[in-house]
Amino acid sequence: MATALVTSSVAANSACMRLPNMPLRLAPATVSFPSRPWSAALTSCTGLSRHSDVVAAAGHQKLMGSLTSNEGLRFGVVVARFNEVVTNLLLQGALETFERYSVKAENITVVSVPGSFEVPITAQKLGKSGKFDVILCIGAVIRGDTTHYDAVANSAASGVLNAGLSAGVPCVFGVLTCEDMDQALNRAGGKAGNKGAEAALTAVRIVLGFVNEQNRPLNSQNAADALQKFNLKKTAVQKALDALADSGQISFKEYGKQKIYIARQDQFEIPNSEELEEMKKTNAKLQEELADQKKAISEVESEVRGLQSNLTLAEVTSKQTKLQSEVQEMEEKLTKLRSGVTLVKPEDKKIIENSFAEKVNQWKKRKRMFKELWDNITENSPKDQKEFKEELGLEYDEDADVNLQSYSDMLASLNKRRKFSR
């Protein structure tokens, strides 16, 4: 086992010297964690010696300062130093992938932490700083003779997930959980591929995959609306689209101030005329099926609305009781009418009608007389008629809430009925 570890260390150190010569921009920042010093193998590597601006020292966790530039899609990389022979290789693969996909070096910030257990909290702080669009989490947890492996592996996995949810920034999980060192080295660049490169590739391709999947003209707002599930804001999506367009991975066209993006069409197979005709037939068939389904849904919804509009059992019972009460009242009235109640005699009816006609006519006559008298009195009077009326204590029909016209109409109807009854 000792021989295997020595061989692995030599391989790791050799790989570390091959880290891509990308001048990572690390603006003034302070990230402090309880940690151990950098190993000689790590600090002597050309690629990782640029991390000197990130200071690791004992004490509480603290993050402050500007970590990255504001141009382009910005990536934060949190890498654990524990099992560094593995994490160095993962970091190398991630940086090579960033370079291959035209991510600018000044838009990549690498922060080192003691181990995988500290990766989530640092990723969360970077995400909440608002200065990163994607956080890549790199670490390696190797099983030992104790249960420490299970605790760290579970905490790292759930922690990275929660970090992304709380920070509102995608946090890509690139922490290896392996049974032994040989398996870890295989997954960090051996037969199993480099998982750090795969994690970085996932972060870069979030937007690219969406554009290719849609394969239709899109603006930044369309893409941002669809990619909300990845917690990508419109600004980040716009920068990603521009970066992909600059690298030639997608096409775009400018219309004034607006840019329209579309997947590169040379990556798709163009169907021939027979395939197009078959697609048209399939599409027409699917459209018919869709119309049938919509019709069926509409019928079901109509039926549901009808059922919902029906009375409930309690409402039916209440209405039944009310109707029975009304029927009983009507039956009682009908019984009284059938019992031979004495009706008004014709001569009595005539006397009442004549009396009514006389009183209405007298009402009209007196109202006319009053109006003539009032007009003569108030014609040259300097007083306001309304005030004069109140002073005299006069009341009009309207003040008593009566209307002569309604009684006049009744009298006209009575006279008309008398005329036809002769």
Contact indicator for 262, 211 with CB cutoff of 8 Å = yes
204-209 contacts at long range (C-beta below 8 A, 24 or more positions apart):
204/73, 204/97, 204/98, 204/101, 204/103, 204/134, 206/134, 206/170, 206/230, 206/232, 206/240, 207/232, 207/237, 207/240, 207/241, 207/244, 208/240, 208/244, 208/249, 208/250
Beta carbons within 10 angstroms of residue 142's beta carbon: 19
Q: What is the CA radius of gyration of the chain?
A: 46
Active site residues: 148
Residue whose C-alpha is closest to residue 90's, from 160, 38, 137: 137
Nearest-5° angle of CA 200, CA 191, CA 110?
25
Residue whose C-alpha is closest to residue 172's, from 196, 192, 193, 141: 196
Contact indicator for 218, 260 with CB cutoff of 8 Å = yes
Contact indicator for 33, 56 with CB cutoff of 8 Å = yes
DSSP-derived letter for residue 48 is G
CA dihedral 356, 361, 362, 363 (to 10 degrees): 90
DSSP-derived letter for residue 188 is B
